[in-house]
Structure 1
Amino acid sequence: MAFADTRPRLLAWALAVLFAAGAPAAWTPASAAPASPAQAVTREQVNAAAERVRADPNMPGTKTEKKLRFKDRDEEEDEPEKKTDSLDWLRDFVRSIADGARWLVWALGALALAWLAVRIHRWVKVRAVGARPGKEALPSHVGSLDIRPETLPDDIGQAAAALWQRGQQRQALSLLYRGALSRLVHLHGVPVRAASTEGECVALSATRLAPAPQAFFVRLVDAWQLAAYGGRLPATAQVLAVCAEFDAHLSVAAATGAAAGSPAGTPGEVPA
């Protein structure tokens, strides 16, 4: 876009008009008489003529013209830079979020590895303690069953037989299984854990018991599982036989005999 100022042309035109008006008087042939001072053009007349020319409505004023031209390459390169600069904050914000998310993922991964390492360490420690039975590793419960000796009667077989004859069959079988687990843990040193199942208890007892006490414990577990999971009660004769043989296979004397390498006893007999 270009602007053209015509003020110099207006002034030239005014001078031309004055010259045309005063020329006949100012310029005469050489033979003519010189012009008088009254006929000379003064500065005031020139200014007055210029004002009249400016006031003429037919004279043009300032003219504005519009022209098409090619844009310089520098100007074209400036505009994308401005647009790019205006999005710098958004780019920086997205980059910050991405960096933060990456660090968060690394932190969560590190925590997961640390948690896994702690769990593995505890599991190895529990396995090691279970393999070396001691007072500090003895469980007080196996599942929901309390196997602490102080919570059990002195003569477990006789107490279970009394419950069975009073019609409390499930309580009688539970007492037999609880008592057997308590004897295995506290007398025979079987590494039973709090979460051990019946099958695991049978497998663990096989490493510590003699064949006769092991066979007795398998019979007892079968009777307990039949009632607890099968919904059926074993025969009364079978249960009363287990009650009568309880101390013969799982008593202190039986544990001492097994440790000394002597037979643990036969059903119905209590080792001396």
Structure 2
Amino acid sequence: MIAPQLSAALEDWLGQGRARRGLAARTVEAYRADVAEFLAFLAAHHGGTAGVAMLERLSIPDLRAFMAHERGRGLSARSLARRLSAVRGFCGWLAEREGFDLSAALSLRGPRVKARLPRPLTPEGARAMLDAVETDAAEPWVAARDLAVTTLLYGLGLRISEALGLNGRDADLPPVLRIVGKGGKERLVPVLPVARAAVADYVRLCPHPIGRDGPLFLGVRGGRLSPRVVQLCMERARARLGLPATATPHALRHSFATHLLAAGGDLRAIQELLGHASLSTTQGYTAVDAGRLLEVYERAHPRA
């Protein structure tokens, strides 16, 4: 059980995260669930109600017991690291607000997490995927829709949520598209003629009215297209092509970045196109190998 005072403090912390850091609603909910899970464990672990006084006594053994409990439930190292990050953030904020010191307890290191290496498609695989998606649907307008969506993922490097979040007013794609990504971060993305043509073809064939303020990409019943529909479409396509399970909609975004870099694109420019806050994140997405980095370095460095 969690004391009302502590529940109110958690909501204050989450509210500040929304206001100051522009956290997305989904991220806020994840943080709320992570911290609530920890507080519920703490109450059961010590017996009683989790309140500010209980957190003042938080110790390294408490956190170790929580980590063991979560791993025993089957939580992955990556998920546990994320959960501990939320717990540290909240407890550190509360300690500063209430005037007590948790630096010793919060210094405990979390589980080591191996970096996930992205699995982009080859250029040939990406083209084959788009061709297969286009021929998968029985109805021409659905085929045009699926091709348009996947072309935006691969041709513009959009996240699936960003592509499916477009509205009717975006149907006539401009030369440069303004995208609002994670955390409300805006970026400008150049639009390839092939992407503009694919969207225009879909709009022409779509049997449902596309309102200016309604969704651009529609399901068969006329509502906003679900990401799951696109995922299933690519699952069928990759099965036919013999591609691995890593050939997902997000892999098309990986492929966009990787292929740009392989063609000589600037890493900082690719960071802007993807909307990454950190350049290190872009390096992970682009799956740069040491040989490729050395080649770029030798060509660009003034002393090379």
* Shorter-chain TM band: under 0.3
Name the structure, 1 or 2, with higher relative contact order (CA <8 Å, separation 6+).
Answer: 2
TM-score (normalizing by structure 1): 0.24
